[in-house]
Amino acid sequence: MGEKRVGLGIVVVLSYFVSLIWMVCTTFTLDGGAAAMLIPSVLAAIISGLFNIMIYWNRLGSRDQRKALTAMGLA
């Protein structure tokens, strides 16, 4: 059950990141200084997404990790 919640967290963070980037681009066209104030939020979304991905990866079994790396062509 824990992996499903972490996977949901990844999807939520990615959708938030996309909408945040859209908002930063729109804000930049209106006021560049205001867009610069949103950069910490973008960095926080990136870090949160990376943490969720690492938690998901560490909860996979070693056999599943090997399968995933083989499927991506990395092993």
| DSSP secondary structure letters along 34-48 | HHHTTHHHHHHHHHH
According to the model, what pLDDT value does residue 63 have? 81
Q: What is the pLDDT along the chain (75 residues), one digit of tens a residue?
A: 556 778 888 899 999 999 999 999 999 999 988 899 999 999 999 999 999 888 888 887 778 888 888 888 876
According to the model, what pLDDT value does residue 1 have? 52
Rounded to two decimals, the pTM is 0.74
Question: Taking the CA atoms of the chain, what radius of gyration do you get in angstroms?
Answer: 16
How many structural domains is the chain composed of?
Answer: 1
